Structure 1
Amino acid sequence: MDANTVLLVFIAVGLDGLAGLAGGVLSEPWLQRRLPALVAFAAGTLLSTVFLEVLPEAVEARGEAAFAWAFASFVALALMEWALGHHHHDAEVAAGHAHGHAHPGAPTLPSALLASDALHNVGDGAAVAAAFLVSPQAGFATAFAVIVHELPQEVGDYALLRAAGWSRARSLVALAAVQLTAAVGAAGVLLGTRYLPSLQGTVLAIAGGSFLYIGAVDLLPELRRGPDSRQRVVGFLCGLLLIGGLHFAEAFAGGHG
């Protein structure tokens, strides 16, 4: 592990943190118009990153045990979301809730929302660090997928905090503090792999399972909701093509290197 890798990890984590404040920066009309395509784009990038970058690297590092870790992560995330009573990535519902539309799945306490967000960010930071330890290409793909799906998620969280009566400043400060937990996850992986090298593959497998859950269960169903289905499908295909194109370009370059 060299200094450049560590620097890249924390740059990626910092950009992820900035995405967490997007709800208080971007204009509300723009978000309402673009959120369907953005959520679909996030689903495409997450799913293509899982199957083209994260899981193959995890299997190479941990063998067939990677599938067990990914499955356990998928199930654990589902149970956690059910226990918290919060569909964490339903950003469009959350944005509607902020405009006064009731939604029975919204969390009763902002503390539950922030706790769920903190746990999620720890996992994101760990995944980014583990991917960069494998290769810059895997790191960039994973970091991009994390940042893209973080944007609609955090816009929804900001909307829910505002709907709960929190001021703009208080909501942004709380979300900024929660974003710091991603650095904790990244630092934990960077330090842990020095003493337990197999941790890298395990973290990637866990990330693969959680990304698969977020993309397939939380985000992908959004493609079938609302009248603007074309915008959603285009966004989803753009996400697939972006990560897929980068992956195959890398493979082509490697084959001719």
Structure 2
Amino acid sequence: MSTLSWIILASFIGGVLSLMLAAMLALNARISWVSKLVSFAIGALLGAAFLNTLPEAFELSENPTQVTILVLFGILLFFILEKLVLWRHCHLEDCEVHDPTHAITTTAPAYDDHDHGRSGMMIMVGDTFHNFVDGILIAAAFMVDVQLGIITSIAIIAHEIPQEAGDFIILLNSGYTRRMAFLMNLLSSFATLIGGVLAYFMLNALDFLVLPLLSLASASMIYVALSDLIPGLHKRPEIGATVQQVTLIMLGIGLIWSVGFFAHNH
């Protein structure tokens, strides 16, 4: 089998298999579990950003400041994108942001109130960047050695499963239906195949994209976790809920770390 065939097969299976397994984990969860699983998703996002994508970006960069500048730029970019989503929503229907009586006449919303798709859109943009880079990494590994390509693909699939499951939970929490959440993740997963095929034909030309894309992917994960998801956890300040949230966040981080540790040592 040719190198290109291996790249196409691994990129396609990697994207689809991780998506299917993540869907089985996330979409079979009860709706009542979604608000609890958001805490786990926060941990998976922060773990993926600080233990996976950022270290990879720092390894590629000769100047660490370049990476931090790109991450800062990414956070600002996602802030602007979220403002645009809010602006669009507020011009289409009644908006509590522009209603001065809203804070007085309504009570604080429950955690699982929908955020009009803001965090879902943010995470899909960042996940698409990340999947594209995964495709480039798969292609680069197969172009060196088929065995290395297979190992790299397995490691990427293993890493993507908890992250994709977290994405599903975030989309459901943002108000998307299960069908729409699956379709959005499916479209995002094809970025792996696109990145792999493009990298095979023009790896040298695409090489400069890996660093900024990894930085932007990190920025999206950090922004969504800290800006859109963690504030919702503060709506349940009681001790029991806080312990549960911290435990689930740590489990999310721990799972990402475990997968990364296993992948780098096998």
TM-score by length of 2: 0.65
Instruction: State how far apart, in whole Å, the 2-side matches of 1:214 and 1:118 are.
Output: 10
State how 1:107-146 maps to structure 2 within 5 Å.
119=125, 122-130=128-136, 132=138, 135-136=152-153, 139-140=156-157, 142-146=159-163
| Alpha-carbon RMSD | 3.8
Shift in Å at residue 20 of structure 1? 6.4
Paired residue for 2:206? 196
Paired residue for 2:221? 211
C-alpha contact (below 8 Å) 1:21/1:176 kept by paired residues: no
Distance change in 2, residues 1:235/1:59 (3 Å) = same
Out of 234, 242, 247, the position equivalent to 2:255 is 242
Amino acid at match of 1:129: G
Q: Does 1:154 align with 2:167?
A: no
Paired residue for 2:12? 10
Paired residue for 2:245? 232
Instruction: State how far apart, in whole Å, the 2-side matches of 1:156 and 1:196 are.
Output: 35
Instruction: State how far apart, in whole Å, the 2-side matches of 1:177 and 1:244 are.
Output: 28
Paired residue for 1:100? none
Per-residue displacement from partner, 1:129-155 (whole Å, max 9, x unpaired)?
A: 356557457624641343132121222
Shift in Å at residue 16 of structure 1? 5.7
Per-residue displacement from partner, 1:153-201 (whole Å, max 9, x unpaired)?
A: 22234x456xxxxxxxxx73x5554344314422332244323222223
Shift in Å at residue 238 of structure 1? 0.8
Identity %: 18
Distance change in 2, residues 1:220/1:117 (3 Å) = closer
Instruction: State how far apart, in whole Å, the 1-side matches of 2:133 and 2:110 are.
Output: 27
Distance change in 2, residues 1:212/1:140 (3 Å) = farther
Distance change in 2, residues 1:153/1:11 (3 Å) = farther
Shift in Å at residue 55 of structure 1? 0.9
Paired residue for 2:78? 77
Could you tell me which runs of 5 or more consecutive residues in structure 2 were left unpaired when the two chains were aligned.
88-108, 142-151
C-alpha contact (below 8 Å) 2:18/2:164 kept by paired residues: yes
Instruction: State how far apart, in whole Å, the 2-side matches of 1:84 and 1:50 are.
Output: 24
Distance change in 2, residues 1:175/1:186 (3 Å) = same
TM-score by length of 1: 0.67
Distance change in 2, residues 1:203/1:122 (3 Å) = same
C-alpha contact (below 8 Å) 1:49/1:145 kept by paired residues: no
